[in-house]
Structure 1
Amino acid sequence: MTASRRHLPRQLRPELEHDLSRSPTLGYEPVAETGVIRCLSHGFPTPLARWHYHDEYELHLIVATSGKAFVGDWIGQFQPGHLVLTGPRLPHNWLSTDLPGGSVAERDLVVQFAHEPIAQAAVHLPELAEVLPLLERARHGIEFFGLAEQARQHWQRTKANRGLARLSAFCAYLCELAACTDYRLLSNAQLQGVDDDHSADQINAVVSRITEQLGQPLSAAQMAAELGMTESRFSRFFRRATGNTFTDFVNRVRINRACQLLMESDRQITDICYDVGFNNVSNFNRRFLDIKGMTPREFRRDVDHRFGGRH
């Protein structure tokens, strides 16, 4: 490595993908041939395999090789059949680590689509509203299980058609995903929904308090008192709304924030630990390992690979 290269700052943020960069030579369909649904297939290695984000949702099916996937602050393994839906502006990348021949001609089968056309159509077509919860979950990345072959067939039908026939094939794809119950969210702290507007306002106020005051000590007893509830009632209410105990939820939000700081800054791990609200490094390391499956140091080491060696 040259001296000038050594002093270049590390690239920490994902690239924004613009329409101008979506050349047919890279596998994109010509804009004139598509509507709001764009199909893409490509192999690996490719300039498209980079840490990036865009304004569209992306349905991403891996059909060859295995390696390491990066979706937001989630890091995990992928193999053929790996199917993920990412939401708008959620950074992602897939890097193959087993390439016996040095390259593969087709690894990724992708569908990209925009939010507004679906949201606006759902106002007039109640049937489309069925997919809105799916799209809400996609803001954090969804990995689906057991749908590899169906996903390949849906992609092929969507790719083979144009106009109304393409829309029909794509809606069938979305319908199957919306009905799938075997999935996991790739981000950690998620609201699961509550029964009425008042409860939603209450839980949103609590979550906002947690996220805005991560460095402050927070307890279930304190939150319960502010909402005029007993601690036991608050605990049941909070768990029903978030799927977590109050302590677990706070820890997950703090670890998520730590992941963001580890990814987007060169700050010392100890400083990050205290900044997100943990009062000792040992506890921070334990909680981080429980939630992410690796230590903060290992996480920082791994996230450097999301650029594919291009930083």
Structure 2
Amino acid sequence: MKKILRELAKPENSSYIVKEEIAIQFAAPFHFHKGYEFTYIVKGHGKFYGGDSLLNFTAGDLYLFGIGFPHYFINDKSFVRSGELAHSIVIQFHENFLGGDFYLQPEFLKVKTLLRTAHLGIKITNPGTRLKKLMMAAPKIPDLKGLINLLQILETVSSLKMADTAIISTNAFENAISTKRKENKLDGVYRYVLENFKDQITNQKAASLAFMNESAFCRYFKRRTNKTLSQFVNYVRITHAIHLLAEEDMSISKVCFECGFGNLSYFNRQFKAVTGNTPYAYRKEFCK
């Protein structure tokens, strides 16, 4: 799956873009922009792959992506089967959407710092009622009032405490906006795993998606990710298990099998290797 440069097609009568998506599932491919993006999840849950990180996402989440930050949302199959519609609100804007020098104004110092950090991707862990209302209002407010609404979002997010935000990626992605960069051979593999982690994942299938023979693929994957494919699959499964332990009232053995593990003791060992806790201890400590 190639990372796609999606240009921000700004309307002629606006300095920014607002999009509202309501569909069976989120359809955007693994992509990045030459601009900034707020994404608010109104309804839906699944996996979010951004930069070099994998997270669970759910309704109420708010994200800010900077220039060149690659990202991809995929709804869990359980959500798609539920018949509910995924719903998101996206606000996009270029760095100079208020003119080239507006960041130099002292009132925008915190916003400038926020947008610089956004190259790593930011998850607002506690958006609060005000931010949610501002995002929900964005598609309905035109003209100057809409621009003021965006400025209020930027001001509110830039004023949040560190405890209310989390950096998504461990590496900067400023160079990702180059359209001449080599395609990452692993992008298709990531999508294959994210969409099918509950099933059997094979090196043979993954290698074919990377257009490599199996032995070369295994070496390449380990060199690029510091994990074997099996270790990466387990990481995705454990990420899903964390979501189930926190959000669903099901037994640990059922969580094990829902995540694609076929053996409870192996699941317990892998969960502890990733999180430092057994599933039981994790639920007891973090999911009260």
Scaled by the length of structure 2, what TM-score is found?
A: 0.58
The partner residue of 1:50 within 29, 43, 51 is: 29
The match for 2:55 is 76
- Deviation of 1:15 (Å): 2.0
Mind listing any 5+ residue stretches in structure 2 that lack a counterpart? Answer: 173-183, 189-209, 239-288
Secondary structure of the corresponding residue to residue 101 of structure 2: helix
**In 1: Cα distance, 2:82 partner to 2:91 partner:** 27
Aligned to 1:14: 3
Deviation at 1:123, TM superposition (A): 4.8
Does residue 270 of the first structure (1) align with residue 219 of the second (2)? Answer: yes
**Cα deviation code 1:192-222 (max 9, x no counterpart):** xxxxxxxxxxxxxxxxxxxxxxxxxxxxxxx
Query: 1:169 is aligned with what amino acid?
Result: N
Aligned with residue 83 of structure 2, among 102, 105, 109: 102
Q: Could you say if the C-alpha distance between residues 158 and 53 of structure 1 is closer, same or farther in structure 2, counting changes exceeding 3 Å? A: same
CA distance in structure 2 between the aligned counterparts of 1:72 and 1:297, rounded to whole angstroms: 17
Q: Structure 1 pair 275/84, CA: closer, same or farther in 2 (3 Å)?
A: closer
Gaps of 5+ in 1: 1-11, 23-29, 191-259, 277-283, 303-311
**Which residue does the alignment assign to 1:112?**
92
Any idea what SS the aligned residue of 2:126 has?
coil
After superposition, the Cα gap between the structure-2 partners of 1:117 and 1:67, relative to the gap in structure 1 and judged at 3 Å, is same
Bigger radius of gyration among the two: 1
CA distance in 2, matches of 1:121, 1:166: 21
Counterpart CA distance in 2 for 1:275 and 1:18 is: 28
Q: Counterpart of 1:84 in structure 2: which amino acid?
A: Y
Match of 1:295 in 2: 231
Which of 112, 121, 126 is matched with 2:101 structurally?
121
CA distance in 1, matches of 2:73, 2:129: 20
Q: Which residue of 1 aligns with 2:134?
A: 154
Counterpart-to-counterpart distance in 1, 2:165 and 2:59: 16
* 68-77 vs 92-101, greater mean Cα deviation: 92-101
Q: CA deviation at 1:121?
A: 3.4
- Please give the TM-score of this superposition, normalised by the length of structure 1: 0.54
- Name the % identity: 20
Residues 44 and 107, structure 1, Cα contact 8 Å, conserved in 2: yes
Alpha carbons of 1:271 and 1:300: their partners in 2 closer, same or farther (altered >3 Å)?
farther
**Which residue of structure 2 aligns with residue 184 of structure 1?**
166
